[in-house]
Amino acid sequence: DFVEALRAVVGAPNVSTATAVREQHGHDESMHPCAPPDVVVWPQAVGQVQELAALCHRCRVPMVPFGTGTGLEGGVNAVQGGVCFDLSRMDAIAELSLEDFSVTVEPGVTRKALNKHLRGTGLWFPVDPGADASLCGMAATGASGTNAVRYGTMRPNVLNLRVVLPDGRLLHTAGPGRQPRKRAAGYDLTSLFVGSEGTLGFLTQATLRLHPLPEATAVTIASFPSVGAAVACTVQVLQAAVPVARIEFLDEVMADACSRFSGMGLPVAATLLLELHGSQRSLAEQQQQTEEIVRQNGGSGLAWAEGQEEREQLWSMRHNAWYAALALRPGCQGYSTDVCVPISRLPEVVVETKQDLQASNITGPMVGHVGDGNFHCILIFNSQDPEEAQRIHAFTQRLGRRALAAGGTCTGEHGVGLGKRALLQEELGPEGLDTLRSIKAALDPHNLMNPGKVL
């Protein structure tokens, strides 16, 4: 039968129909209910992915790619069943070129594993969504995170992708073995597959752009009298062409939660966490410019952490924001919203959203990649309480629409997945959605790749 045919391709130990395994692969870190696949397979090589895909294609069985399961929008939930392709055992790091600032990784390689591999080379891969996600998974979801304001999101940092198409054919989005830093050779297939959320094919290898490690790094944290002041400070830092590496916003609720969770003693105020990269000398100048702008906007409490341990302490406070938020209501679940708006509209959108949270009686501290206009409300709620779950849903819809009305997007970096399909329609309009659907139908005519997601 079909499962036997899968076993014939990858060997019996690499196929599982056990309930526990299927359930483990049927959901990510989102609030969507688990939807287990019928089978989980662990291919060991790209040829096996091709054979498995061709088999599923012939039998018209849905296929769901799986990396680390750290997505936030239900991207791996097998809502129509089918075969989950767990690609974590394909984990080669190949073709590191220090002169070209490039490396090629398979789907089992996470961003931390890559940066560990790069130690001592003077290069690093800066995109950091928080979780230790698979780099191919980050490409699939168009991930970004704290460093994007300086180093960009995944899209400009992917040079080529090796894709297994739904029928098992192999596509190299920039051509086989190619990695020029720029190209104008036909439609940009690389950018099309980045952010396609597994709906167009399997990303089985990514060639990435690396960046030189900064000679020196400094981190500071400052408290502001208002959200508006913190955002004005951000705009002025960018206008002054300070090449800020990270500029993260925490609202007063989140600053307080993080402070208590990490035992830091921060003021209960709108807060910015800033990181600067550069040579020793340029860093001193960036610090001085930043300090001036912070003070002009009423910011205070500024102190620079330059040693690695001190810096890591500050960032671990930020990276623990999720847990600090969960600690506000023990036993409850969390869900992170993800709107992104033009920065000029950010203060009003943040202030209105805070009023909405209060009026809706929802606990939802905010963190944001404020240099990009992207912020998250970490909504803490009792998912067992249908009334509360409904209230949370209604709030996320209002927030999405508020961002759209401000010229923004319903998702800056988490993707559409299962939950934002309705908002995506409003965001793109009928012509936009028709265009997405035409592309999907052209590349996956039987709708076998991660069906039910995005569109």
What residues numbered 114-153 form the site for its own copies, per CB under 8 A?
122, 141-144, 148, 152-153
- Please give the residues from 64 up to 83 whose contact with its own copies meets the rule CB under 8 A: none
- Please give the residues from 333 up to 372 whose contact with its own copies meets the rule CB under 8 A: 338, 340-344, 372
- Classified as helix, coil or strand, 437 is helix
Tell me: does residue 191 bind its own copies (CB under 8 A): yes
- Please give the residues from 167 up to 186 whose contact with its own copies meets the rule CB under 8 A: 169-186
How many angstroms separate the CA atoms of 157 and 206, rounded? 10
**What is the residue type of 420?**
K
Cβ closest to its own copies, residue 155 vs residue 311? 155
**What is the residue type of 449?**
M
The CB density around residue 191, as the number of other CB atoms within 10 Å, is: 16
Rounded to the nearest whole angstrom, what is the least distance from the CB of residue 30 to its own copies in the complex?
14
Tell me the number of residues near its own copies by CB under 8 A: 99
Applying CB under 8 A, the span of 37-45, 311-319, 349-357, 410-418 interacting with its own copies comes to 410-418
The CB density around residue 397, as the number of other CB atoms within 10 Å, is: 16
| Options 38, 188, 310, 348; binder of its own copies; rule CB under 8 A | 188
Tell me: does residue 99 bind its own copies (CB under 8 A): yes
Rounded to the nearest whole angstrom, what is the least distance from the CB of residue 250 to its own copies in the complex?
20
Cβ closest to its own copies, residue 171 vs residue 327? 171
Rounded to the nearest whole angstrom, what is the least distance from the CB of residue 242 to its own copies in the complex?
9
How many angstroms separate the CA atoms of 37 and 27, rounded? 10
Cβ closest to its own copies, residue 22 vs residue 420? 420
How many angstroms separate the CA atoms of 87 and 34, rounded? 19
Tell me: does residue 58 bind its own copies (CB under 8 A): no
Rounded to the nearest whole angstrom, what is the least distance from the CB of residue 94 to its own copies in the complex?
13
Rounded to the nearest whole angstrom, what is the least distance from the CB of residue 411 to its own copies in the complex?
5
How many angstroms separate the CA atoms of 352 and 349, rounded? 5
Tell me: does residue 409 bind its own copies (CB under 8 A): yes
- Residues 225-249: b if buried by 16+ CB within 10 A, e if exposed: eebbbbbbbbbbbbeeebebbbbbb
How many angstroms separate the CA atoms of 51 and 275, rounded? 46
State both tokens at 74.
């239900």
Of 320, 217, 329, the residue nearest 263 (C-alpha): 320
Tell me: does residue 404 bind its own copies (CB under 8 A): yes
Strand partners, 83: 39, 63
Tell me: does residue 196 bind its own copies (CB under 8 A): yes
Q: Is the Cα dihedral 382, 385, 389, 392 positive or negative?
A: negative
Applying CB under 8 A, the span of 12-20, 78-86, 207-215, 378-386 interacting with its own copies comes to 207-215
- Please give the residues from 232 up to 291 whose contact with its own copies meets the rule CB under 8 A: 235, 238-241, 243, 278-279, 281-282, 285, 289
| Options 23, 132, 215, 385; binder of its own copies; rule CB under 8 A | 215
Rounded to the nearest whole angstrom, what is the least distance from the CB of residue 365 to its own copies in the complex?
22
Those residues with Cβ within 8 angstroms of residue 44's Cβ, 6 or more apart along the chain or in another chain: 10, 14, 89, 90
Tell me: does residue 212 bind its own copies (CB under 8 A): yes
| Options 214, 299, 334, 364; binder of its own copies; rule CB under 8 A | 214
Rounded to the nearest whole angstrom, what is the least distance from the CB of residue 444 to its own copies in the complex?
10
Tell me: does residue 96 bind its own copies (CB under 8 A): no
Rounded to the nearest whole angstrom, what is the least distance from the CB of residue 285 to its own copies in the complex?
5
How many angstroms separate the CA atoms of 290 and 248, rounded? 14
Q: Dump strand ranges (E) for 251-355.
A: 270-278, 304-305, 333-336
User: Which residue carries 């688990």 as its tokens?
Assistant: 34
Cβ closest to its own copies, residue 22 vs residue 440? 440
| Options 61, 84, 293, 443; binder of its own copies; rule CB under 8 A | 443
How many angstroms separate the CA atoms of 36 and 79, rounded? 8
Largest CA distance in the chain: 71
| Options 155, 311, 319, 446; binder of its own copies; rule CB under 8 A | 155
* DSSP conformational letter for 117: H
Tell me: does residue 106 bind its own copies (CB under 8 A): no
Tell me: does residue 296 bind its own copies (CB under 8 A): no
How many angstroms separate the CA atoms of 18 and 36, rounded? 10
Cβ closest to its own copies, residue 197 vs residue 256? 197
Angstrom distances, CA of residue 379 to CA of 363, 386, 443: 6, 15, 36
Cβ-contact 325, 254 below 8 angstroms? yes
